């Protein structure tokens, strides 16, 4: 739902906004340009903007995969 999208955007501190609809009802969505890396536990492990190269992003993801340790229960 629109409310769930707003809540998710707020949780990740990203910007999202639907533009005005055209005569066919279509619209453009303006949004932040970020990629989030989530761990198996659903926690945000890193965030990447457009300035990161593919090589930098891949190195970061590999590093997070190699060093991942689950949080203790509780």
CA distance 61 to 36: 10
Annotated binding site: 31
Tokens of 21: 């609809």
CA distance 35 to 27: 23
Is the CB of residue 34 less than 8 Å from the CB of residue 47?
Answer: yes
Annotated binding site for Cu cation: 31
């Amino acid at each position: 739902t629109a409310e769930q999208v707003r809540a998710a955007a707020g949780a990740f501190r990203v910007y999202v906004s639907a533009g005005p609809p055209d005569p066919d009802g279509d619209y453009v969505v303006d949004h932040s340009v970020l990629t989030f890396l989530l761990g198996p536990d659903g926690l945000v492990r890193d965030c990447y903007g457009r300035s990161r190269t593919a090589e930098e992003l891949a190195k970061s993801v590999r590093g997070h995969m190699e060093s991942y340790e689950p949080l203790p229960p509780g």
